[in-house]
Structure 1
Amino acid sequence: MPAVEAALRKKRSPRRDSESTPTHPLPDFRPFQLCTLSETIPTGDGWLFEMKYDGYRAQIAITGSEVRVYTRNGHDWTEKFKVILSPLKTLTKGAVLIDGEIVAVDKAGRTNFSMLKTGIAAGIPLKFYAFDIFEKDGEDLTKKPLIERKAILEELIGERDADDSLQYSHHVIDGGNAFFDAMAAGGHEGMIAKRAHARYVDDRTKSWLKIKCTKRQEFVIGGWRPSDNGRGMASLIVGTYEKGQFTYRGRVGTGFSEAMKDKIMAQLEKRRLAKPAFASVPRDIARKAFWVKPELVAEVAYAEITPDGSLRHASFQGLREDKKASQVALEVPADDTASGLDPVVGIEIAQALGVKLSNPEKVMYPGTKITKAHLVAYYAAVADKMLPHLKDRPLSLVRGTNNDLENTFFQKHALAGMPKTLKSGKLTKMKGTEARILWIEDLAGLVGGVQMNTLEFHVWGSDRHEPDLPERMVFDIDPDEGLGFGDVKQAATDIRDILGAVGLQSWPLLSGGKGIHVVVPLVPLADWHEVKEFCQDFAELLAKTDPHRFVANMSKARRKGRMFLDYLRNGQGSTAVCPWSTRARAGGTVAVPITWNELAEIDRANAFDVFAAAERAQGPDAWKGYFEVDQVLTERIRHVVKR
C-alpha cells in the first residue's frame, strides 16, 4: 500500500494544497498577437469576426484569487484597473492567462476611448472583454486552433450579466460584410477578422486583420495621376472649396474596378485643363499629374484628415450627381474630444501629478483647438513609448511665447519658477568644463514642461550618468525647399542601406516638420569624438559619391536642389528632437517613430498631429527591438567609412 500511494502521488498534477484546491504559479506575461490593417473584408467560413474595441489591450494573469493586469508592453497596471478585478478573482481555482481589451462603454453601447481615459482617473465602471486565451492550468493553448481556444474561453467565463465587468467577446462565422455594416451603423470603430483555425502567433500577422469603419464625404475631382505604365489612371486628385478657393485634399488610389476606371477616365478626358484649378498643389504631386475642370463629385471614404488638410487611407466609393461641385466643403467634426484627447482628463492628470496647470484652456497652436490641457492628455497617452527615449537624458526645451510659433526660444538651464517635476543639475563634459543641465524622469516632468509652454523636447544622445558615451547617432535629412518628400524618403532608405552594409541597423523618425531622422542605437562604448567624426565622415562620403543629391555643408546656398545630411547633432551637448515630442509647427504636429515598411506609404514628414499620434501610441511599437540592438561603432566600421 505505501508503494501504491507513492506512485499515485507522483502522478498527481497539478499540486494540491490542504483543501484539495489545485494550485499553479501565476502565468508569466507573453507577447501579444497583433493585427494587420486591411481595407478588404475576407470571405468564407474560415474566418470569424469580432468587434474592434476602442480601449486598452490587456493581458490578465490569474492563479486562484491572485490577479495581474498587464498592458501590451508588459507593464503591471493592476492597481490602475482595480475596478475590473472582482469577477476575475473568482473566475477559477486554477490558473489562466487571457487576452482581451479593457473598455468604457457609453450610453449608446459604444466603446469610448475618451471615457476610458477619464474612467481610469475617476474610477468609473469599466469592462474587460476577453477574446483569446494563452494557457489554462499550466497547459499552453496557443497551438490550438482559435475556434477551440475561444470555446475553452467561453466555457470558462460562462454567462454573465450585462453589467458585469467581465465579458466574453462573441463572434460570427462568415458574414463579414454584414457584420462590418452593423459596426458602421452602430458608430463603432470597426471589426477584427481572424482565421478560425489559426494558432496564436506572438507577432503581427495577416491571420488577424483590422478593418476600420472610415469617415465618408464628397470631394471634387481636379485631376489624376497616370499608372506607372503611362496608360490609365493610378489615382484621382481631389479637393474641396474653402472660401471660394479650390483646395487640394490629397489622392484617392483604391476602391476602383478596372471597368470603373475606364468609365471615369472617359469623363475626365472630356474635362481636360492645361493647368490645375487648385489654389496650390504639392510639387511632387504635380510632376506627373493631368488636370481637369473641377466638375465631377466623388464619394470618398477615408481614415482621417492630416494636419495639413489631406486625406489618409482614402478609398473611392462612387460618383455623385446630387451635389454641385461648388457646394463641396471639408466637413470638420464639431467636437475635438472625439479624437481621444479629452482636456478634462488633461487637467485631472496634472492635478494628480501635483503640477498646477495655469490657464489650461490656452490655445497652444494658432488656428486649432489644441489647448495646454490637450497637450497634458497627449503626453499621458504617449508616455510609455516616449520616456525610454527621454528619461535621464540632458535636454533642451523649445518654449512658446504668446501663441506665436515664429517667436519661440530654447531653454537649457533651470530658471526661477520652474516646476519641481523638471530636474536640474550639473555634469562635467569631456573637455573638462562644467555644464548645467535639465532632465526629466517621468510623466510629471513632461507635464511640468507643458505648464511652461514647452512645445518641443530635444535630448542628448547620452544618459546624464554616462555623459561621455552616446547611445545613439542621428542623421537629420534636411531638404532644400524645392524638393519633394519622395526625395527625402529615397534618401532615408539609401542611408539605411549604406549603414546596414557596414553592420549598423537604423530606424526612421518622421520629424514632424519636413524631414526624416535616421536613428542608429549604439552600445555606449565609443565616445563623442569618435561618434561625431564617424557621422561627419559618413555625410561627406555621401556628398562626395552623390553630389547631385547630398551636401555635407549646412549653407543654404550650397543646398540648392539637394539635401543637407546634418551630422552636427552628434556632438556632446548637441540635441535632436525626442521621439513623440510635439513640434512648434502649425497644426500641432509630432515627431513620430515609424517602420521602414510604413515609410513607403507616408507622403509627408508632418503626417501626425497630437490626436493621430496619441491614437498610434496605443498600438504596437514601430521601433520594437530598438533598445535591444547590440551594435558597436567599431574601429573597422569607422575605417570603412573614412576610407
Structure 2
Amino acid sequence: MASESTTLTVDGPNGPRDMRISSPGRVLWPDLGLTKLDLARYLADVGDAFIAANGGRPVALQRFSDNVDGEQFFSKNPPKGTPDFIRSVKVVFPSARSHPMLVLDEPAAAVWAAQMNTVVFHPWPSRADNTDNPDQLRIDLDPQPGTDFDDAIPAALELKDVLAEAGLITFIKTSGNRGLHVYAPVEPTREFLDVRHAVIAAARELERRMPDKVTTAWWKEERGNRVFVDFNQANRDRTIAGAYSPRALGHAPVSCPISWDELGGADPKNFTILTVPDRLKTVGDPWADMKDKPGKIDVLLEWWERDVGAGLGELPFPPDYPKMPGEPPRVQPSRARKKD
C-alpha cells in the first residue's frame, strides 16, 4: 500500500514547485496537535522573509525522528535524494576538514527540508560565496537560571547603544525560547576569529556597564543570576536558530524578528508557527532592509586590542575545538581550585 502523502505548491523565484509531503498528518508538536503539513505550510507562508534572512548561506538542519520531544540529529551534508534545484557549498570546519553543506535559495527548499523532518534551521553567519568571512555579527543574550526574557530586554537595549558607538546598526529577534539575538550586518572582510574578538569586545563593554545584570563568564558556576553573553556563538561552525525558524518546544514558537520599538512589550510566547504568517502580512518584516546597512568591526577590534593591552585576553573556546592560541585552560574553576 502506498504511504499517505500530499502535494504543496510553493511559489518562488523560478515559478511554483509542487513539493511532495509524505506522512502529512504526522504530529510534530503533540501539545498542540500540529503536524508535518502544518510546518510545511508555515514555511511556504513565510517563505520570502525566511529566505531573505537565511538563504544563500550554508545551513545545518535540526531533524527529528518522530516529534519535537523525541530523538533529534543535525544534518550538515546534503541528504541522499536532495532535489536538483537545491545546491550545496563546501565549507571548512574547525578541525580543518571540509565537506559540503546545503544552501537554501527559495521557499520550496525550506519546504523540502520540512519533508525531511527538519524543524530548526541553523544558517551560518557567512554567505555561500564567501564562507570564511561572516557578513553578520551575532550576539546571543542567554538568560541564566533565576532570570528570564524580561531580564534580557535591558541588556539588549544597552547592547544596541554599545554597538551604535562602534558604528554598527543592529537588528533583533527573539530566540524562540527565553533569550534574544542581536545582529549587526557587517562587511565580509574579516574572518571568524576577528569577528569573535569583536563580539568579545562588545560583550565586555556591555558587562562593564551592567555588571550585576550581564556576564561573559564561560563557566556556568560563575554566571550567577545574570544574562550570559554567549560569545562562542561567533565561532566557525557555531550557529543559532535562524530568523523565522520554528523551535522544538511544545508551543511551536518561532525565532521571530521584531523592531526595537516592539521589544519592551514583546512576549516571545506570542510568536508561533500559527501567528507569525499573519504578523508578516500586517506588520511586515522588520529585517527587510538588513542587507542595505553593513558596517565595519574596526572599532570593536580596537576595543579588543585595548582590552588585551589591559590584560584581558582570549576567552575559552567550545570543548570540541582544537586548543587555540592564547586560550586559558579549559578547566572548570572549582576543579582547578581543588587541584591547587
Residue identity opposite 2:217 in structure 1 = N
In 2: Cα distance, 1:384 partner to 1:404 partner? 25
**Aligned-pair distance for 1:359?**
0.5
CA deviations 1:138-170 (Å, max 9, x no partner) are xxxxxxxxxxxxxxxxxxxxxxxxxxxxxxxxx
Q: Do 2:172 and 2:183's aligned partners in 1 also have CA atoms closer than 8 Å? A: yes
Q: Do 1:457 and 1:577's aligned partners in 2 also have CA atoms closer than 8 Å? A: yes
- Tell me, yes or no, if structure 1 residue 357 matches structure 2 residue 21: yes
In 2: Cα distance, 1:579 partner to 1:468 partner? 21
CA deviations 1:31-68 (Å, max 9, x no partner) are xxxxxxxxxxxxxxxxxxxxxxxxxxxxxxxxxxxxxx
Partner of 2:249: 585
- Tell me, yes or no, if structure 1 residue 640 matches structure 2 residue 307: no
Secondary structure of the residue that 1:577 maps to in structure 2? coil
In 2: Cα distance, 1:428 partner to 1:561 partner? 37
Partner of 1:262: none
Q: Do 1:516 and 1:605's aligned partners in 2 also have CA atoms closer than 8 Å? A: no
Residue identity opposite 2:76 in structure 1 = K
Partner of 2:213: 549
2:53 to 383, 386, 389: 389
1:85-484 equivalences in 2 (<5 Å):
347-349=7-9, 353-420=17-84, 422-428=86-92, 433-484=97-148
Partner of 1:499: 163
**Aligned-pair distance for 1:417?**
4.2
| 1:479/1:641 CA distance change after superposition, 3 Å | same
Partner of 2:280: 617
Question: How many correspondences in the alignment?
Answer: 296
CA deviations 1:559-586 (Å, max 9, x no partner) are 2201110121212222121111111111
Q: Do 1:425 and 1:437's aligned partners in 2 also have CA atoms closer than 8 Å? A: yes
In 1: Cα distance, 2:223 partner to 2:186 partner? 29
Residue identity opposite 1:401 in structure 2 = S
**Aligned-pair distance for 1:497?**
1.0
Q: Do 1:427 and 1:435's aligned partners in 2 also have CA atoms closer than 8 Å? A: yes
Residue identity opposite 2:28 in structure 1 = M
- Tell me, yes or no, if structure 1 residue 517 matches structure 2 residue 181: yes
Q: Which runs of 4+ in 1 moved over 6 A?
A: none
Q: Do 2:63 and 2:73's aligned partners in 1 also have CA atoms closer than 8 Å? A: yes
- TM normalised by structure 2 equals 0.80
Residue identity opposite 2:206 in structure 1 = L
CA deviations 1:505-536 (Å, max 9, x no partner) are 10110111110001111121222221111112
Partner of 1:532: 196
Partner of 2:270: 607
**Aligned-pair distance for 1:425?**
4.2
In 2: Cα distance, 1:442 partner to 1:481 partner? 39
Q: Do 1:413 and 1:436's aligned partners in 2 also have CA atoms closer than 8 Å? A: yes
| 1:531/1:469 CA distance change after superposition, 3 Å | same
Q: Do 1:364 and 1:371's aligned partners in 2 also have CA atoms closer than 8 Å? A: yes
| 1:482/1:421 CA distance change after superposition, 3 Å | farther
In 1: Cα distance, 2:94 partner to 2:251 partner? 39
Partner of 1:172: none
Secondary structure of the residue that 2:275 maps to in structure 1? helix
In 2: Cα distance, 1:584 partner to 1:531 partner? 29
Computing the radius of gyration from Cα coordinates, the structure with the larger value is 1
Secondary structure of the residue that 1:598 maps to in structure 2? helix
| 1:562/1:522 CA distance change after superposition, 3 Å | same
The more displaced of 461-470 and 423-432 is 423-432
In 1: Cα distance, 2:202 partner to 2:65 partner? 38
Q: Do 2:170 and 2:183's aligned partners in 1 also have CA atoms closer than 8 Å? A: yes
Q: Do 1:350 and 1:357's aligned partners in 2 also have CA atoms closer than 8 Å? A: no
**Aligned-pair distance for 1:478?**
0.5
Q: Do 1:347 and 1:376's aligned partners in 2 also have CA atoms closer than 8 Å? A: no
In 2: Cα distance, 1:348 partner to 1:630 partner? 36
Residue identity opposite 1:640 in structure 2 = W
In 2: Cα distance, 1:546 partner to 1:600 partner? 18
- Tell me, yes or no, if structure 1 residue 559 matches structure 2 residue 223: yes
In 2: Cα distance, 1:355 partner to 1:580 partner? 20
Secondary structure of the residue that 2:211 maps to in structure 1? coil
In 1: Cα distance, 2:86 partner to 2:253 partner? 23
Secondary structure of the residue that 2:291 maps to in structure 1? helix
Q: Do 1:349 and 1:377's aligned partners in 2 also have CA atoms closer than 8 Å? A: no
Q: Do 2:142 and 2:230's aligned partners in 1 also have CA atoms closer than 8 Å? A: yes
Partner of 1:218: none
CA deviations 1:91-144 (Å, max 9, x no partner) are xxxxxxxxxxxxxxxxxxxxxxxxxxxxxxxxxxxxxxxxxxxxxxxxxxxxxx
By relative contact order (CA 8 Å, sep 6+), the higher-ranking structure is 2
**Aligned-pair distance for 1:546?**
3.4
Secondary structure of the residue that 2:72 maps to in structure 1? strand
**Aligned-pair distance for 1:419?**
4.9
Residue identity opposite 2:29 in structure 1 = Y
Compute the RMSD of aligned alpha carbons.
Answer: 2.3
Gaps of 5+ in 1: 1-345
Secondary structure of the residue that 1:426 maps to in structure 2? strand
Q: Do 2:163 and 2:202's aligned partners in 1 also have CA atoms closer than 8 Å? A: no
